[in-house]
Amino acid sequence: MTSTLDENNKEKMRSVSVDLNNDASLLIDIPDALCERDKVKFTVHTKTTLSSFQKPEFSVPRQHEDFIWLHDTLVETEDYAGLIIPPAPPKPDFESPREKMHKLGEGEATMTKEEYTKMKQELEAEYLAVFKKTVQVHEIFLQRLSSHPILSKDRNFQIFLEYDQDLSVRRKNAKEMFGGFFKNMVKSADEVLISGVKEVDDFFEQEKTFLLDYYSKIKDSTAKAEKMTRSHKNIADDYIHISATLNSISADDSTANKKHLEKLSDLFEKLRKVEGRVASDQELKLTELLRYYMRDIQAAKDLLYRRARALADYENSNKALDKARLKSKDIPQAEEHQQQCLQKFDKLSESGKKELTGFKGRRVVAFRKNLIEMAELEIKHAKNNVTLLQGCIDLLKSN
Amino acid sequence: MFPQHRNVVVAQTQTFCVISLESNPQTSSEPASLPAEDISTNSNGPKQDSLFDDDPEDLFAEATEEVSLDSPERDVLLSDGPSPAITPITPPTSVITPCIGHAHDDMFTHSSFDEIEEEEGGDSFDMHISVSDPEKVGDGMNAYMAYKVTTKTSMSLFKRNEFSVKRRFSDFLGLHSKLASKYLHIGYIVPPAPEKSIVGMTKVKVGKEDQSSNEFVEKRRSALERYLMRTVKHPVLLKDPDVLQFLESSDLPRAVSTQALSSAGLLRMVNKAADAVNKMTIKMNESDAWFEEKQQHFENLDVQLRKLHASVESLVCHRKELSVNTAQFAKSAAMLGNSEDHTALSRALSQLAEVEEKIDQLHQDQANADFYLFSELLGDYVRLITAVKGVFDHRMKTWQKWQDSQMLLQKKREAEAKLQFTNKPDKLQQAKDEIKELEGKVQQGERDFEQISKTIRKEVSRFEKERVKDFKTIIIKYLESLVQTQQQLIKYWEAFLPEAKAIS
């Protein structure tokens, strides 16, 4: 299935991170995507005034794995150690709607035709929502890169945008993937390391404490928000069944009740649509927001780990220098090594501070925007519900 | 095994008299003797003896255990009543005579049913019953819940405008059991009593003061209230002495036979099974399209209501889940707010947590409304429709009895014809007598069939009217509960909005 998203929709969905894609020198978007079974093919469209690119406007097809390659490449680049690398977009996950579609197929016999059609519609909408979400997440990843003064100039990023052949040749082969896995293991060892390393800078000490704590809390909130959304969806499904059965009863009825039942059936059909929208809005504004920043905070934590490693390296280099002076051997190398470590550490600290401060600002703005929008939408939907319900009550009372 | 045997045999008026005798304490010692006395005044032949052999034991046995009325109180109360047929509560002999004498005033003959409706018009239904104050009495496995039943009314049927009594669950079951045995087989739709729950009650007995046993008691209390209101809304049932006694008498004998594992309980189960088998074998020639159409209608309604009930139960479940999940999210958001180091955002997150906590309570309340208004309404009607279907079945059985009598008569006539050619004057006379008796039985069978058919038509019409009214009233209430929830949601989110905007 293809999907062309209009500007309005995109604007709504882009709200997890604000102020992106405003710089006309490099504008990126994903205007459409194709879903084939498990694989999603994104069309990455670039418009640029920069001379570093061959053409002013071009599009390339990319798969999810290509995005992951780009992300990992950036993470592994030493020069970017002091930057928060935007989190990689999660893999497109159609498991949930697919499973539900399967269950629906099995239960088809127990439902009326209208009921089945409505449930199917509901599932197709869910499928579409997952699809839109994944496109959004991939798009934001690219836009974060293009908005970053340093990362936007990355060579691999340019290749990603421009290279019109299949990128798979440049993607990780098995060995490299294993290397990546190993790196993750080392990272968790780093987490232990961090608690042992003495922090010299108050700012980073605070940030470390804050981010570690905040990460676990936001992870929990994301999971709980997801459960809430699922309950709303379940209720919407119940309304479908109730509406359908009321319809069947009214078909059989020949008393004055018939009209009442038809109205009621109609009401529940409308209510379920509102409930569905409440669920999806809550998901976009709350769950997705929390999920995105959870990943972003992980990226910020990664920055802290890298800096901590640099600090450890610097301290080790100090010890090595002392040893060298004691032994009176290889002192210049040790001195140079120590200088390099210090430079690297200072660079990381300086850039890190900037990044983390910017990150906090970004986070606060995004939360504000989404919380306001969510509250406004909840009010809108509740008012809609009241109108629907009151209308039905008045109709019933007047008869 | 089939109580209605008795009715078929005995004259219509007598049916009622025999019924009222059930509630007579003085008959308790000699139940079996009553039929004998009935027979003596009955024009039907001696054949009746055999028919009474099994059944009376069953029915009267039940009555014996259940009832021992406070006679004087009864008389005082009933003398105010409109129908003279209720009055015979005193010794058996005096019961029968006035009963027969008042044959035409008997509220169960067609003419008086109309009278009752007229009376209804005069003394319009103004009655409200509430079941409240559940109280645990006793300890351990012998413990039970006592409920206060308060009646508020301005109807002349009652001496006082407001009165209350204490009743336990088995009392309600006992009441239903009596009403069912009196009225179901002649075509009245007797509202079913709330269901027993061994698991639920055991928890309460054991003394668990937790939420689930509180919920169970509340569910039961509400169901008992609805049951009583439905029962008294029925114009005929309202005036039944057992109903009146239930509502007014401070002392009510224990309805022991309602216990699931009692001998009467087992008997009921056996009866039910036998009924089911019989139903399958009766093939009735339905000459009346109305009945066929209505039966089909109730079959369909039954299926649909069960389906709807299941969907609403699912809704209740999911709404409760939403409440729980919202509460969990609220806690999580509060923690997140505490962890947040940006002051304004931290405050906004804490406010969000508070809003969500209020909302979770809102969902909980809505789930209760979903259940007590919508779900229980459907559950009640699923059970009521079973009672309606039962009444149709009784009509079939009545028809079958009639047919059986006819076939037997036919056989006897053939036998008599054969006897004509033999020289056995005694046997011939006997045959002639038997035929005369059977002819009476056949006539009675036809009358019974016509009567039950007529009653059912009236009952179904009343039932359908009541159903439409009931549904409309409760659905409106339910929708209003939904409106309230949504309006509260608006309030909560509107209060939160400035907090979100205040983030800077």
Together in a domain, B331 and B379: yes
The mean-pLDDT minimum among A164-173, B77-86, B306-315, B431-440 falls in B77-86
pLDDT at B261: 55
How many structural domains comprise chain A?
Answer: 1
Residues A228, B325: C-beta atoms closer than 8 Å? yes
> Could you tell me if A205 and A87 are in contact, meaning their C-beta atoms sit under 8 angstroms apart?
no
Q: How far apart are CA A308 and CA A206, in angstroms?
A: 14
Q: Is residue B1, in this structure, part of any structural domain at all?
A: no
The mean-pLDDT minimum among A54-63, A134-143, A175-184, B251-260 falls in A175-184
Together in a domain, B234 and B295: no
What lies within 8 Å, CB to CB, of B131 at 6+ separation is B147, B148, B149, B150, B221, B222, B224, B225, B228
Together in a domain, B300 and B429: yes
Residues B322, A218: C-beta atoms closer than 8 Å? no
Together in a domain, B222 and B297: no
Contacts of A379 in chain B (CB under 8 A): 489-490, 493-494, 497
The closest alpha carbon to A267, from A388, A148, A178, A377, belongs to: A388
Residues B468, A255: C-beta atoms closer than 8 Å? yes
Contacts of B297 in chain A (CB under 8 A): 252
Report in angstroms the alpha-carbon separations of B330 from A276, A292, B30. 21, 19, 70
Residues A375, B493: C-beta atoms closer than 8 Å? yes
Q: Is residue B421, in this structure, part of any structural domain at all?
A: yes
Q: Is residue B132, in this structure, part of any structural domain at all?
A: yes
Q: Is residue B384, in this structure, part of any structural domain at all?
A: yes
Together in a domain, B251 and B304: no
pLDDT at A192: 52
pTM of the entire structure?
Answer: 0.77
- Residue B88 backbone phi and psi in degrees, to 5: -65, 90
Q: Is residue A365, in this structure, part of any structural domain at all?
A: no
Q: Is residue A295, in this structure, part of any structural domain at all?
A: no
The mean-pLDDT minimum among A87-91, B158-162, B322-326 falls in B158-162
Q: Measured between CB atoms, which of B325, B332, B342 is closest to A231?
A: B325
Together in a domain, B428 and B293: yes
Q: Is residue B358, in this structure, part of any structural domain at all?
A: yes
Nearest residue of B to residue A364 by CA position?
A: B345
Element housing B370 (H / E):
none
Q: pLDDT tens, A328-363?
A: 888 888 889 899 999 999 999 999 999 999 999 989
Together in a domain, B314 and B438: yes
Closest Cα in chain B, distance from residue A100 (Å): 17
pLDDT at B118: 42
Q: Is residue A51, in this structure, part of any structural domain at all?
A: yes
Measured at the alpha carbon of residue A128, what is the angle toward residues A122 and A134, in degrees to the nearest 5? 140
pLDDT at B278: 62
Q: Is residue A47, in this structure, part of any structural domain at all?
A: yes
Q: Which domain holds residue A46?
A: 21-91+133-165
- Residue A59 backbone phi and psi in degrees, to 5: -130, 145
Question: Which residue's entry shows tokens 């779900």?
Answer: B375
More confident residue, A205 or B76: A205
Together in a domain, B303 and B451: yes
Strand partners, A29: A45
The closest alpha carbon to B237, from B194, B195, B189, belongs to: B189
Residues A393, B496: C-beta atoms closer than 8 Å? no
Residues B308, A228: C-beta atoms closer than 8 Å? no
Together in a domain, B307 and B225: no
Q: Which domain holds residue B335?
A: 288-503
Q: How far apart are CA A258 and CA A263, in angstroms?
A: 9
pLDDT at B378: 95
Together in a domain, B307 and B244: no
Contacts of A202 in chain B (CB under 8 A): none
Q: Is residue B67, in this structure, part of any structural domain at all?
A: no
Q: Is residue A347, in this structure, part of any structural domain at all?
A: no
Residues A364, B503: C-beta atoms closer than 8 Å? yes
Q: Measured between CB atoms, which of A221, A256, A360 is closest to B336?
A: A221
Together in a domain, B263 and B364: no
Best residue in B373, B385, B482 to probe A by mutation, most A CBs within 10 Å?
B482
Q: Is residue A219, in this structure, part of any structural domain at all?
A: no
CATH of the domain at A35: 3.30.1520.10
Q: Is residue B58, in this structure, part of any structural domain at all?
A: no
What lies within 8 Å, CB to CB, of A46 at 6+ separation is A26, A27, A28, A53, A57, A58, A59, A161, A162
Q: pLDDT tens, B108-151?
A: 444 444 444 444 444 578 899 999 999 888 887 788 889 999 99
pLDDT category of residue B407 using cuts at 50, 70 and 90:
very high
Q: Is residue A393, in this structure, part of any structural domain at all?
A: no
Mean predicted lDDT score pLDDT of chain A: 85
More confident residue, B51 or B293: B293
What lies within 8 Å, CB to CB, of B257 at 6+ separation is B62, B65, B66, B174, B177, B263, B264, B265
Mean predicted lDDT score pLDDT of chain B: 76
Element housing B3 (H / E):
none
Q: Percentage of chain A with pLDDT > 90? A: 43
How many structural domains comprise chain B?
Answer: 2
Together in a domain, B258 and B294: no
pLDDT category of residue A112 using cuts at 50, 70 and 90:
confident
More confident residue, B24 or A394: A394
Q: pLDDT tens, A26-40?
A: 899 998 888 887 788
CATH of the domain at B249: 3.30.1520.10
- Residue A83 backbone phi and psi in degrees, to 5: -115, 155
